Amino acid sequence: MSDKKSTQKKPFNHVLEVQKGRIDIREIFKRIDERIKEKKDGTIS
Amino acid sequence: MGLLVDNTVLDAALQYLEDNVDWISVCEGAPTTYEHAHSNKGVGAGKVLAHSVTPTFTGPADGDTNGRKTTIDEEANITVDVSGDADHVALCKTGDTTLKYVTTCTQQALTQGNTVTIPAWDIEIADPTAA
């Protein structure tokens, strides 16, 4: 049996550094208000 | 006057992401449309270098600072389909072809044929503060 090592290279694994997302809840309520105004009947679609 | 939001309000938004996101992609440049975040770089307006159709979440849970958060679990060893400079990560819903969320990552050159790991990261909705 050959003791030659395989020459196949293992793919390099890149590891990302991802920025955490932080949402201001005022933005959510602002968008809900906009959606209500768009519909003008007080409901949210 | 104190400001208050119940956890159920914040959790509704986070749970929506957990229930609807079925695509996570690593992009070159900021995706602002579904096509950007879903089509490979070089195909139409696509910006995708690598993607996974099995994103999973943990949470909602208490935020690190305050409020509530959901954790997008690590996606390990995703195949890099197209070489490029990764600088954004996007979450999509393929069912209605919508781009749901985008964040940034430290720019890194990816090479086609290699793999990429997106470590676990959080989306946190902060408690309200006075404007």
The Cα of B12 is separated from the nearest Cα of chain A by a number of Å equal to 12
Residue B1: predicted pLDDT? 58
Give domain status of residue B14, yes or no. yes
Neighbours of A45 (CB within 10 A): 7
Q: Is residue B58 part of a domain?
A: yes
Instruction: Collect all residues of chain A within an 8 Å Cβ-Cβ radius of residue B124.
Output: 20-23
Structurally, chain B folds into a number of domains equal to 1
Does residue B121 lie in a domain region?
no
Q: Which range of residues forms the domain containing residue B111?
A: 7-115
Report how many Cβ contacts below 8 Å link chain A to chain B. 83
CB contact under 8 A, B124 and A23: yes
Tokens (6 digits) for A15 = 């590891």
pTM of the predicted structure, to 2 decimals: 0.88
**Once rounded to an integer, what is the mean pLDDT over residues B8-23?**
96
Adjacent-strand bridge partners of B98: B93
Query: One digit per residue, pLDDT tens: chain A, 45 residues?
Result: 445 555 677 889 999 999 998 888 888 888 888 888 777 666 665
Please give the ipTM for the structure prediction. Answer: 0.87
**pLDDT the model gives residue A1:** 47
Nearest CA in chain A to B121: A20
Q: What are B28-71's pLDDT values in tens digits?
A: 999 999 999 999 999 999 999 999 999 999 999 999 989 999 99
